[in-house]
Every structure is written in structure tokens, then in C-alpha cells.
Structure 1
Amino acid sequence: MASTTISAATPSFQIISTLRFDPDLPRVTSHNANDESYPVPAHSPYYLLSYHRDRLINAARHFEWDSALDFLQQGLDSFESFLDGSIPNREKPWRLRIAVDYNGKGSVEVNPTVAMDPLNLLVPSLHSGTQSTIWKVYVDSQSITPSGFTTHKTTARDDYTAARVRAGITSPAETSEVLVVNPDGEIMEGSITTPYFRRHIVGKEINANEAVWVTPPLTSGGNAGTSRRYALSQGFCVEQVITKADMVDGEECWLSNGVRGFVRGVVVLSR
């Protein structure tokens, strides 16, 4: 993959963020999350709306795209109005892919998305939603070098596509995920999700005998995802380096992203 400096000088990519529009979300946040457990605007049908705008702003700032920053910093109301124009039917859930280019031009690709219990959009500690599907979670056989294209989400995703192919994941509809790994053997993230594992923490102000949910730190090279930020803000998890060697065949985990919310997974090391 080209370096951040070269590609940002003559950009052929866009910064992106993918989120869920769900008409049931305002009801869920109103009844199951108080003002401190869900980011504003709490009653929007756009999942983690402010976090998605923040993510795009941070990417534009990293790549020094001033025109994109001007577009994204107009305010949340303007950002939501921009998204509203793309919704075909406000009574159904949708998957939105927001893309912003170097010149500050934004576009939204809208597709139908899977029906699900909207409670699963909240962090697991806040609900007892139904989970009928367990995702299979594989570990990539090769490594990826961290860069601005792994820290920030862009259309330059060849490394992630290749990891999915190596894992035998051929369709975005599959309930399977592959964990990408940096050259030091540290888990960075999933190809389309943030992973969480149950681990014992040593040397911190946490009971060493009690396992807690952990997620890889950004220093391992992964993406600063929106659902990851939400999980950390609510104390669902803490950051800890997780290596490929730490993975246990058959262990249960959580996965999250801006469209599916939080889903259960199981690690598969042998096939």
C-alpha cells in the first residue's frame, strides 16, 4: 500500500465511515440508556452519529484535507440533514456509507441492512438483547503494517480485503470475521469490526483475579472505530495489547461496528 504522505499529496482515495439508520434506535436509547450512557444526539435514528462525524474530522485532519474539514465542521444538525436526503424510507433500517473526498465533497451510499434486535446497538452491559447468530472469528495468516490507512478508515482497503480472502470470507453477508495482525504479532482489529476478549489484567487498578473485557490499543495500529469509542466510554472494556499467540481456539468474544452494534463471536484457530 502506498505511504500516507505520497497518497495524501495526490489523493485517489476518500475518507469513509459506515453507520446504521434505524427508526427503532430513538426508542431504545430513550428507554435503556440515560443521558450519560449514549452520545448526543441521543434520540437520533443514526447510530452514534456524533462519533462518525468526529471520526471523519480526525481523518481529514490527519490527511490535511482543509476543504473536507470545512464541510465536516459545519455542525451536527447540518451533518444530519446531509444524511437525511439519502434515506429512501424512514420506516426501515439502512446501512449508510459516508464518503468525503479531498475537495470536501460528501456522498452517501445507502443499502438495506439486516433486521436485528435494536438493543444490540447498546453496549452489552446495558441490555439483555437477543443474539441468535455467533460469528466465526479467524486470525490472519499474514501481517499488515500500521499506517494512516489503518488508523483512519478510507477507501484504500486492499489489505483488509486480502485478509478476508485469506480467511475464506467471500461475501460481506457472511457472519465471519478475520483479525488483522501487525508485524509484531499484535492483534490490530477485525477487518470490519472491533474485537473484545475476556482477559486478566495485571498491574492496573483492577482485581487481578477478575477477568475483564479488553480491546487492542490504537498503538497496535488499528482503527479508532465509533463502537470501540462507545464501548470504552461506557467502561465495557479497557485497552490491552493482545497478541496472536494469546488467541485460544473456541474462546468467546464480542465484535462491534457502526452497523451491527455488538455481536457475539467465537475464535476458530483450526479448520
Structure 2
Amino acid sequence: MSESSAAAYHLLSTVRRDVQLLDVSWNTDAHAGAPSPYLLLAYHRDRLTEAARIHKWSVPSNLTLSDLEELCNDALRAGSAGPQIETGDSHRIRILLSHTGALSVTASPTAPLPLPDPMAPSLWLPSTSDPDPPYSGFEALVIHVDRVPTPSSIFTRTKTTRREHYTAARDRFNIPPPPTATLLEVLLYNEDGIITETSIRNIAFVRRSPPRWVTPSASTGCLTGVIRRWLLEQGRVVEASDGELTRTDIVDGEYVLTFNGVEGCRFGRIRLTE
């Protein structure tokens, strides 16, 4: 890819900042043992570093955990037009990395976490006595299955500002662009009919016996998100085997688990009819 082409987009990571996370032990563990209001910030740092390697871009010297946290704090101060950070507020932090290695960070308000632990929904699995998920603070998403495949590429495997393929999928179902709040989502699959992700979230389906949350394999070309990584490390989800999650195996009305770096985990339900 030429330098002019690389200059047309940035690598991207979007992080939640929420004071509630200061009391979440697993988030502290993931932040070098220090309490942090940023959701898995070290994982975002790792993802940006890996994406830069994949795109053959420079990794800036200030892409350390402490420096990245300070850049996020600076963005919050700039947004509040004052030196004090409003620690009670919830924010969506957008981190951009250019092909030259330049980092830029902006902050915008977002809704507070509905649960003290944003990963709690991942602990539920359906059973005969408990077929419907508990209320997680979020209403369940309505997830349509896209009409056409989204081919796998470097722009599906890494998160960038080149998002035309995601926008096109959302447009086919009249879903407004993020960060507009909506309960509608669209499920994507690759050229081989293998499920990959949704337009702004990773996803897992209940499969196997005994039941497990099963998420598409990285080999599908899906985005390997930060919450996905944590859930896999904790054994709360497992990667699908070859052919385990295909478009033709989807069941109308089945519950799914979705996850991203701003919401954490939430439930959705497949809708095959439009």
C-alpha cells in the first residue's frame, strides 16, 4: 500500500472511561495492577501496536500504557475546558494512530454503565429452567443478517477509520451511523458464508453440549476486539472450529452475546425476517 493510500485512514481504538471501573478487580489486574477508570486500556494499546505492525506503520514511542493514559486524560481535560477531570462522568475515548506514528485522542460523553461489571452478561448461559437471559441494563439488540457477504481484508482484521463496508451493511437495514443510539444491528459473514462479527461489535453464539458461548475464529477475518480477547483469556467464550458458525446455521430468535470496548457485553436476538 502506497504512502498516499495509507495517509487516507487511521488506525482506531475506542475506549470506555467510567469511574465504576476503578472498583472492578479484573480491570485493575489488566492495568498493571493499578485501578483505572479506562476499560482494558492496556489491551487497546496492544491492539494498536499489533495493527501498526500489520499495516507496516511506525509504532510511536509514546504508545506505552502510562503515556496513553495521560493522552486520554488530556483529552478529557480539553473536553471539559478545565484542568479537573469530572470523575463521575462516563466517556467514549477515541484514539487515532496515523501512518507517521502520530497519536490523537478525543473524548465525548456517553451513557453510564448499567451494571457495575460490564462483563457480567457473559456469565449467563441458557438452560431448560433459564431459557431467557437476565436483564443486563441494556435492552436486547435486534440483529438482522446481512444480505450480502463482507469480504475479509486488512480492514476487517484491524480497526481503522476506513469503515465503508460496515456503513454499507448498516445502510441496507436503515441503521443510523454510530454513535447514534439504536437497538438495531447487522450480522456480517465472509465470502465463504462464515459468520465474522456485527457492524460495531464482536459476537458469540450458544453452541455445543454442554452449551458454550462460541465466537468466530480470527481466521474468518473478523476484528479481534479487546473484549473478545479478555473473554477468551478468561474462558468465558471459545473460538469456533472450522464450519461451526455459518450463515445457514443461524436460528431465528436465538440469543447472542455481543461485546465491544465501550459497552462491554450485552445480549442480542437474531431476527431473520425483515
Query: What TM-score range do you get, normalising by the shorter chain?
Result: 0.7 to 0.9
The 5 Å alignment of 1:110-121 reads 110-121=107-118
The 5 Å alignment of 1:105-184 reads 105-125=102-122, 130-172=136-178, 173-184=181-192
Aligned equivalents of 1:9, 1:159: Cα separation in 2: 17
Give 1:268's aligned residue. Answer: 271
| Selected match of 1:59 from 19, 36, 51 | 51
Aligned equivalents of 1:62, 1:54: Cα separation in 2: 12
Aligned equivalents of 1:170, 1:141: Cα separation in 2: 17
Q: How well do the aligned residues superpose, as a CA RMSD in angstroms?
A: 2.1
Instruction: Name the SS of the counterpart of 1:142 in structure 2.
Output: coil
The gaps in structure 2 that reach 5 residues or longer are 81-85, 125-133
Q: Is the 8 A contact 1:21 1:93 kept in 2?
A: yes
1:97 and 2:94 matched = yes
Cα 1:125–1:215 change in 2 (3 A) is closer
The 5 Å alignment of 1:64-103 reads 64-66=56-58, 69-73=59-63, 75-87=64-76, 88=80, 89-103=86-100
Q: 132-141 vs 261-270, which deviates more?
A: 132-141
Give 2:230's aligned residue. Answer: 230
Aligned equivalents of 2:4, 2:44: Cα separation in 1: 21
Q: 10-19 vs 166-175, which deviates more?
A: 166-175
Per the TM alignment, residue 72 of structure 1 is displaced from its structure 2 partner at its CA by 4.9
| Selected match of 1:247 from 235, 250, 263 | 250
Q: Is the 8 A contact 1:197 1:252 kept in 2?
A: yes
Q: Is the 8 A contact 1:196 1:215 kept in 2?
A: yes
Q: Is the 8 A contact 2:27 2:39 kept in 1?
A: no
In the alignment, residue 159 of structure 2 is paired with which amino acid? K
| Selected match of 1:40 from 19, 31, 36 | 31
Aligned equivalents of 2:52, 2:165: Cα separation in 1: 21
Q: 96-105 vs 7-16, which deviates more?
A: 7-16
Instruction: Name the SS of the counterpart of 1:77 in structure 2.
Output: helix
User: Structure 1 stretches (4+) deviating beyond 6 angstroms?
Assistant: none
TM-score w.r.t. length of structure 2: 0.85
In the alignment, residue 192 of structure 1 is paired with which amino acid? I
Instruction: Name the SS of the counterpart of 2:259 in structure 1.
Output: strand
Aligned equivalents of 1:218, 1:140: Cα separation in 2: 20
Percent of aligned positions that are identical: 36
Aligned equivalents of 1:162, 1:58: Cα separation in 2: 26
Q: Is the 8 A contact 2:115 2:136 kept in 1?
A: no
TM-score w.r.t. length of structure 1: 0.86
Instruction: Name the SS of the counterpart of 1:85 in structure 2.
Output: helix
Cα 1:270–1:122 change in 2 (3 A) is same
Q: Is the 8 A contact 2:121 2:136 kept in 1?
A: no
Per the TM alignment, residue 34 of structure 1 is displaced from its structure 2 partner at its CA by 8.7
In the alignment, residue 144 of structure 2 is paired with which amino acid? Y
Q: 86-95 vs 54-63, which deviates more?
A: 86-95
Instruction: Name the SS of the counterpart of 2:75 in structure 1.
Output: coil
Q: Is the 8 A contact 1:135 1:266 kept in 2?
A: yes
| Selected match of 2:259 from 237, 252, 256 | 256
Per the TM alignment, residue 78 of structure 1 is displaced from its structure 2 partner at its CA by 1.2
1:30-87 C-alpha deviation (Å, 9 max, x unpaired): 3xx497xx52245110001000000100111111112xx12354x2111111111011
Aligned equivalents of 1:10, 1:113: Cα separation in 2: 30
Q: Is the 8 A contact 1:120 1:129 kept in 2?
A: no
